[in-house]
């Protein structure tokens, strides 16, 4: 192993000397060193190999100390990238929670991803906030005072949220031209489907209704309450909160009773996967202590995540449906809301692309990367588009994501396209090379609408600083080191950070 590393270093040093390149920032395609070159370099390489032999031995003997230093440098660099992009951090985090950005940034990333990867058509056009649901307003507003606003300015979810952000609060409720801010949400049994009034300022958005309010909440919140099981049970996907009366009535299989005392997402999805009388089911829904299974898709209204915050009997921190005032269902006081999970598609069977492969529209495929703080930086400072909300082209792929990033009217321009599930992210900056996944097959999430293509993935075994999410990245200009990629993926991953630093200091760049 050591001998292979030394010969690879020697070859790299020789090629760097011959090329005479000094500009480390020059955009270029990744350069992979050939394992069996047709150029007669063996004699020269042997001479250089002998020359650098003692130097490499010294590097190897002290590698642990140097790697620690390099790791610290990498961490600091990524932190700086995030710091540069968080001018609007107050939009995302309350003053009391802004320390999370330095103390637990992966927690911030996971919270934002939960909202981005599971979007709602009524989500506000405001970073870090999500649609919480439609609720009865009478009781909620009886103890609150609306914000003072000028009728001339109109009202919209974004205006109301900005008023709540200014107060450092977490919940915004809109009723026609009125805005209410607070740090508590309506309860699960006060849901409604009567938020049908167009907003005065933006008729394409809804601002409550007759005695109902449209409620929005920060994605990262200190407000306690049950949430969907994310990450989901293996082989299943969280699909949303739905008005479930009609679907429940036609569900062919349900389980409650003794099993109900243990009911949660894992129990219910396992029940539906096991099936009944040899029938396995695609959809698994929860309401309090009952699990419903079916192979029929829902055609009912998608509700806000807050309308399904009734605790599961088995795991009170998980959400198991809710109630709305739409219409009583059987002996229930209201319409039943269900928390729905759907079987996940299988991973793509295609071979992962190699980093440096020619990508779509003359962009280059960078590879499969851990998202970590780079993805957080992308969310805070870039843009994202979900195919789940795209009525005209409901699919995502590397090419589609590149098209979206190219079409974005931003300054500076967006140079990098990231895919994860059904979502496309765009960033100005290149990903840190330290985040390149050693196992490129970890990006095994099928692209939404293009199941043979890979769009990110999840690695539950990853170290905490990396997070579990991975993304596939395409770039219009590539600074990925071919030496580093080759070294990491094939030969001497332990020395990669050290060797790249040595070559960078000695030759101005890493080949």
What is the residue-averaged pLDDT of the chain? 80
What mean pLDDT do residues 174-188 have?
92
Q: Is the pLDDT of residue 63 over 70?
A: no
Whether the Cβ atoms of residue 185 and residue 308 lie closer than 8 Å to each other: no
By DSSP bridging, strand 178-182 and strand 302-303 are: unpaired
On whether the CB atoms of residues 386 and 393 are closer than 8 A, the answer is no
Question: Mean of the pLDDT values across residues 106-114?
Answer: 95
Query: What pLDDT score does 200 carry?
Result: 87
**pLDDT computed for residue 115 by the predictor:** 94
Q: What is the pLDDT of residue 377?
A: 93
pLDDT at 202: 87
* pLDDT(414) > 70: yes
pLDDT band at 11, cuts 50/70/90?
very low
SS3 397: coil
Kindly tell me if the per-residue pLDDT of 190 is higher than 50.
yes
Name the residue with higher pLDDT: 354 or 73.
354
For 70, other C-beta atoms within 10 Å of its C-beta total 17
Model confidence pLDDT, tens digit, residues 146-168 = 998 777 778 999 999 999 999 99
What pLDDT does residue 191 have? 87
Mean pLDDT value across residues 232-237: 94
Beta bridge partners of 290: 287
- E strands, 7-160, are 129-136
Estimate to the nearest angstrom the gap between the alpha carbon of 73 and the chain centroid: 25
State yes or no: pLDDT of 502 exceeds 80.
no
**At what angle are helices 496-507 and 42-61 packed, to 10 degrees?**
120
Q: Are 319 and 263 in contact (CB under 8 A)?
A: no
- Inform me whether the pLDDT recorded for 278 exceeds 90: no
Q: pLDDT band at residue 481, thresholds of 50, 70 and 90? A: low
Furthest-apart CA atoms within the chain: distance in Å: 88
* Average pLDDT of span 472-491: 62
pTM, two decimals, is 0.77
Q: Which of 118-132, 173-187, 322-336, 459-473 has the lowest mean pLDDT?
A: 322-336
Report the distance separating Cα 64 and Cα 9, nearest Å.
Answer: 18
Confidence of residue 135 (pLDDT cuts 50, 70, 90): very high
Q: Mean per-residue pLDDT for 348-363?
A: 95
Task: For residue range 17-49, list pLDDT tens digits in order.
Answer: 333 433 333 333 333 323 333 334 444 444 434
Q: What's the average model confidence in pLDDT over 337-346?
A: 96
pLDDT digits (tens, 9 = 90+) for 374-393: 999 999 988 999 999 988 88
How many Cβ atoms sit within 10 Å of the Cβ of residue 51?
11
């Amino acid at each position: 192993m050591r001998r292979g590393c030394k010969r690879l270093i020697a070859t790299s040093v020789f090629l760097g000397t011959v090329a005479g390149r000094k500009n480390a920032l020059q955009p270029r395609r990744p350069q992979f060193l050939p394992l069996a070159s047709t150029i007669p370099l063996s004699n020269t390489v042997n001479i250089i190999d002998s020359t650098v032999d003692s130097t490499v031995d010294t590097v190897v003997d002290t590698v642990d100390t140097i790697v620690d230093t390099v790791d610290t440098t990498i961490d600091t660099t990524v932190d700086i990238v995030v710091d540069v992009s968080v001018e609007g951090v107050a939009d995302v985090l309350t003053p009391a929670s802004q320390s999370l950005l330095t103390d637990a940034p992966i927690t911030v990333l996971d919270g934002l991803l939960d909202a981005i990867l599971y979007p709602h058509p009524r989500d506000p056009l405001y970073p870090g906030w999500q649609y919480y649901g439609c609720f009865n307003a009478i009781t909620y507003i009886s103890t609150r005072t609306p914000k003072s606003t000028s009728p001339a300015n109109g009202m919209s979810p974004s205006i109301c949220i900005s008023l709540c952000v200014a107060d450092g609060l977490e919940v915004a409720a809109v009723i026609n031209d009125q805005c209410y801010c607070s740090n508590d949400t309506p309860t699960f049994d006060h849901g409604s489907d009567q938020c049908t009034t167009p907003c005065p300022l933006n008729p394409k958005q809804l601002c409550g209704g007759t005695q109902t309010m449209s409620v929005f909440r920060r994605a990262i919140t200190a407000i306690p309450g049950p949430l969907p099981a994310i990450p989901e049970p293996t082989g299943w996907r969280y699909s949303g909160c739905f008005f479930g009366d009609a679907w429940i009535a036609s569900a062919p299989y349900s389980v409650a009773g003794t099993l109900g005392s243990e009911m949660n997402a894992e129990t219910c999805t396992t029940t539906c996967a096991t099936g009944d009388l040899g029938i396995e089911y695609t959809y698994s829904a929860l309401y309090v202590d009952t699990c419903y299974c079916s192979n029929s898709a829902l055609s009912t209204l998608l509700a806000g995540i807050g309308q399904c915050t009734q605790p599961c009997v088995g795991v009170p921190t998980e959400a198991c449906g809710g109630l709305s005032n739409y219409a009583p269902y059987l002996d229930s006081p209201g319409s039943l809301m269900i928390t729905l999970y759907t079987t996940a598609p299988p991973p793509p069977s295609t071979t992962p692309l190699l980093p440096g492969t020619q990508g779509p529209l003359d962009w280059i495929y960078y590879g499969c990367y851990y998202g970590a703080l780079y993805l957080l930086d992308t969310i805070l400072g870039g843009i994202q588009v979900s195919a789940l909300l795209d009525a005209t082209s409901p699919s995502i792929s590397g090419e589609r994501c590149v098209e979206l990033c190219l079409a974005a009217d931003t300054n500076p321009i967006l140079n990098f396209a990231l895919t994860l599930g059904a979502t496309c992210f765009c960033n100005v900056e290149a990903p840190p090379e330290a985040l390149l996944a050693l196992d490129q097959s970890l990006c095994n999430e099928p692209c939404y609408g293009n199941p043979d293509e890979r769009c990110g993935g999840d690695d539950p075994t990853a170290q905490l600083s990396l997070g579990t999410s991975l993304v596939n990245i395409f770039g219009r200009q590539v600074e990925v080191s071919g030496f580093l990629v080759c070294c990491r993926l094939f030969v001497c991953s332990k020395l990669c950070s050290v060797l790249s630093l040595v070559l960078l200091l000695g030759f101005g760049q890493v080949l």
